[in-house]
Structure 1
């Protein structure tokens, strides 16, 4: 009797299963170095990629999983996961293979609400769970804005419709180099205003913002704080003097890297500016919430927001207490590998034209924006 064909599951279905807490086992069969780059939260690692590739029919014979839970196998692009699924099906498991593998999973997302003291203010953190990109949908009295849109425009439009909000503004904190910015497309589709830090890098129409920019959204006020360093045009957004959206300047346990697209002299300049930008932020009240543009870990489907406060950062990240010279030396000694395709991505984000690329292919892989 021939075995049944292996069913597949798409990213949207697996995302929904994890979001609702459906009991299942996710088995990642990629090599260890690939898994350490990025992974699906709470997945089980079986380092058998090479055995599967070589046709070893016993590659997963020692893997023990709960027999009462369905299994989803995952690899880089969905090929070796099918071989893994065949072996597990032969062992009696109910198995699915993830269509497109981790390359497709790059666009998976989940959400968490940020606590606020303003009853007229709602902040929704939208997380690309595998890639670690964090964007925000902020709403007050039916009006909304989006910060650092990194997902398909339909995600933000759908969430706004669900809550009865109208998107009025779309903002980026800087020119991104690790993911395609969907901000221009989102502004166009929602007929909203595109606000970006002023830079000659952007080759399409937008409204430039600077340190003097302040505007209202319903019953709340947003202020722009220039924070050059990660990029020279980087800004942070400060809402109600309590909530700080830091982009890639300051993370919950690290700082942004200043080296991308920089010569040796530019790197020193950007590192120095990053130091002063960070200390400008550290001078804000200790209870100010810090909401970054990225995290370096897979984002769990736990609805818990990823954030910290200025006070907690000051105490928990020793790097932030260093003098400028030591701070710069620390950064230079710990520059991580460059993100894959960062030059291509930054050029696309400069032009605003995505027509010549496949986002899933260009964006595959974890972000590498932070220095610890």
Structure 2
């Protein structure tokens, strides 16, 4: 990608009123925009919920290490503090030619006009046949429901319930989230084994992964380093006694079964779906340029290519840079760093100033918990495993969350 700055946008002529900036979705970085634009624009924030869930922490809801309140960021509080307006709903379409967008709310559809737009809708859960028979990673309340169900399965087993597959636990999806879920699931089962007196050997855990390696697609370094990281994660998961079914794909869920594409059937009373996320399909229908997976293509300043007044960031943005046009993986660490850049560029658009480029960090800290308070961490070529990797992961979570709401550091360390 070239390093030329985009042409300066002439200041928008106002007639006594502030320009309207719409935050279409409030993923990572939205609060940066709210703070930067306070008093500089009429800001409308659109989000399905009046809070944001820190997805990097949510897997630990399953084991009970974190509470729902701890992983939530109070979006509405930040909206009010910074003088913005809130619309509860989901964006379903953008009409860039007339500078409007459509929002689906509980009361029906609304069309809102904007002068400048930040698209930050993230990704949504990929669906599958029979998904209602499984617990899903979103919304976060599903993981709390799964925790209650799993505890009940162990209690039923202790009472002699003969239901087939009662202590068989399946996680479908071997990415970072699915792998962490399996680790947290094991910790919960370990607790329930001690509570009920049922040996852990009577339980069965199956992690189904459509790829060859676990937790793929999480870094931009050399493939050999990424594979070494994945193998280290796999070693940690296997030490728990987990069966890893690699290069397998789930076809559908039943009331008590998991059906695979190759025709096999697995009987399990507990099924968790972490089989991937995808950008909303409507993004590809807006007439804006999109990449292979449907994310909006942005330039080095996070402005959607071909549009002077629309920025995009996070999982719904397709950002490439460098001579080899490397594309950023869809993980939160990059979205967090994009937030301040997108916020400043919205302000610069309003003022008619040159935009500033976003430069991804050369290496990203990536950490995946694998049960027993153990994690596998990676920073560049350096990979390590152990309890202190978990401590470092929790430290970064604490440092991030404390800037967004009051938190007690003791809640992050276990």
Report the TM-score when normalising by structure 2. Answer: 0.26
Q: Higher RCO, 1 or 2 (CA under 8 Å, sep at least 6)?
A: 2
Report the TM-score when normalising by structure 1. Answer: 0.29
